[in-house]
Amino acid sequence: MRTLVTGGGGFIGSNLVEALLHRGDSVRVLDDFSTGRRENLADAGRWAKDGGGALDVMVGDIRDAAVVRRAAADSEVVFHFAAMPSVARSVADPLTSHQVNVDGTLNLLLAARETGVRRLVFSSSSSVYGDSPTLPKVETMPTAPISPYGLDKLAGETYCRLFHQLYGVPAIALRYFNVFGPRQDPASEYAAVIPRFIAAALAREPATIFGDGEHSRDFTYVANVVRANLLAAAASESACGEAYNIACGERTNLLQLVQLIGELAGAVVPPRHAPPRPGDIRHSLAGVEKAQRALRFAPEVGLRDGLARTVDYWRHAG
Residue 263 lies in a domain: no
Backbone phi, psi, residue 278, to 5°:
-65, 140
Residue 55 lies in a domain: yes
Residue 39 lies in a domain: yes
In the residue annotation, 129 being an active-site residue is answered as no
Residue 141 lies in a domain: yes
How far apart, in whole angstroms, are the C-alpha atoms of residue 130 and residue 170? 27
pLDDT tens for the chain, 318 residues: list them: 999 999 999 999 999 999 999 999 999 999 999 999 999 999 999 999 888 899 999 999 999 999 999 999 999 999 999 999 888 899 999 999 999 999 999 999 999 999 999 999 999 999 999 988 999 999 999 999 999 999 999 999 999 999 999 999 999 999 999 999 999 988 765 568 999 999 999 999 999 999 999 999 999 999 999 999 999 999 999 999 999 999 999 999 999 999 999 999 999 999 999 999 887 889 999 999 999 999 999 999 999 999 999 999 999 886
Q: What angle do CA 248, 34, 274 make, to 5 degrees?
A: 60
Length of the chain, in residues: 318
Catalytic residue among 149, 159, 221, 244: 149
How many domains in the chain? Answer: 1
Residue 260 lies in a domain: no
How far apart, in whole angstroms, are the C-alpha atoms of residue 164 and residue 107? 15
The residue range of the domain holding 108 is: 2-177+222-249
Q: What angle do CA 191, 194, 195 make, to 5 degrees?
A: 55
Say if CB 303 and CB 314 are below 8 A apart. no
How far apart, in whole angstroms, are the C-alpha atoms of residue 164 and residue 136? 27
Residue 235 lies in a domain: yes
Backbone phi, psi, residue 152, to 5°:
-60, -45
pLDDT score for 6: 98
User: Which CATH number does the domain housing residue 45 bear?
Assistant: 3.40.50.720
Residue 297 lies in a domain: no
Residue 277 lies in a domain: no
